[in-house]
Amino acid sequence: MLKKLEEKILDKKAKVGVIGLGYVGLPLALTFVKGGFRVYGIDIDKNKVAKLKTGKSHILDVSPQEIKDALKEGLVVSADFSRIKELDAVIICVPTPLYKTKEPDVSYIVAAVEKIKRYMKRGQIVILESTTYPGTTEEVMLPVLESNGWKEGEDFYLAFSPERIDPGNPRYQTKNTPKVIGGISQRSTQIAKLLYEQVLDAVIPVSSAKVAEMVKLLENTFRIVNIGLVNEIMLMCDRLCINVWEVIDAARTKPYGFMPFYPGPGVGGHCIPVDPLYLSWKARMYGFEARFIDLASYVNSEMPRYVVSKIISGLNEHGKPLKCANILMMGVAYKKDVKDLRESPALEIIELLVENGAIVSYYDPYFPYLKIRDINLKSAPFDKESFTDSDCVVIITDHSDVDYKFVVKNSKLVVDTRNILKDIKDRSNIVRI
């Protein structure tokens, strides 16, 4: 079976299935199509499936034309999980959020694996790409897939390969981002490596699925700890009346031993605020306290409150209380130039402002409407009146296609959380974190 599967992969005759057509699964499916494979994209969201069938994209990084081309070249989009029995490779790209208790929610993975078990055939390879804690592939997926008496490495193959998607990154996309692979068995690593090598520029095998799972968590823990560190340095510089941005720019001139990270209003997105907590949770199960992770998460989680304090301070300088002040938020996405609200610090900042009696509006070209709990908002127009009518404009997300000089010129007070206004000479109405 292994030899037969290898031959089908090398001949591009293997049918590849991708479960979950979100920001990870859809670009991956298109990459396999471009590599010459027939791909079946499966998603439980029937509305999403219907839109994709007509060539409509729900992801900013994927154009409608790319989807239309893929549909012509071999992409089949469906909500029918029975198509799994036709496949040679099944790749799982489903969400892995946290419960409110900060514990991992692997219910989407479990649901996908149950569907695969129901329709799987001998000789298939199943690969998990969803970010999760070390041991998920072996401890959660493997027992389910072997419960019918089949054996991994003989009747089917199972591996983990962490997704490495950076939304809005024009340089690194699915094809040219190195891919880590770790199988339950050596055979699974071998076949998964062969599969991805057909469509990606570089594939890096590791000794086990656990190692591959840990790789992803290390990558994002490295980022959250360094973001937490620089945020704490920023708070310290604020007390010492030192420009932290100047400090970082000077430090980055060192050609070795330093990598610049930048402070901000908080962390957001699908990975950074979530993934390290998966690792922290797993560590506690083994009696180990991940102090760096917990401290960094705490520091970053306090940044929205710090931003609100800077807004209050700036308003006080202008003789205006926060209560009943008109606050215009510039950008609500979690990062620049992406249509993604997940874990965005802007949402918490808006809630805190409303709780303290402020009248909040926002501008974001990617989100015409916004609902936060019981708050319904509509994006304000980008015009002079929007800024002159506001007591304070707060730059949370520094989208590229924004005339910030126009913003500053027409605003009474601007709080800049991204240092996007660093080149503006007249800073009399600018407060920065």
Catalytic center residues: 271
From residue 67, alpha-carbon distances to 16, 59, 60, 407 in Å are 17, 11, 12, 37
| Among candidate residues 354, 331, 172, the one with its CA nearest the CA of residue 265 | 331
CB 125 within 8 A of CB 160: no
Residues 377, 360: Cα–Cα separation, whole Å: 9
DSSP labels, 216-250: HHHHHHHHHHHHHHHHHHHHHHHHHT--HHHHHHH
Amino acid at 134: P
Cα torsion angle, 170, 174, 176, 182, sign = positive
From residue 426, alpha-carbon distances to 77, 85, 249, 311, 398 in Å are 54, 65, 21, 19, 19
| Among candidate residues 145, 137, 273, 259, the one with its CA nearest the CA of residue 206 | 137
* Side-by-side strand order, sheet with 75-78: 75-78, 38-42, 15-19, 89-92, 125-128, 157-160, 179-183, 203-205
CB 23 within 8 A of CB 61: yes
Do strands 369-372 and 375-378 pair parallel, antiparallel, or not at all (unpaired)?
A: antiparallel
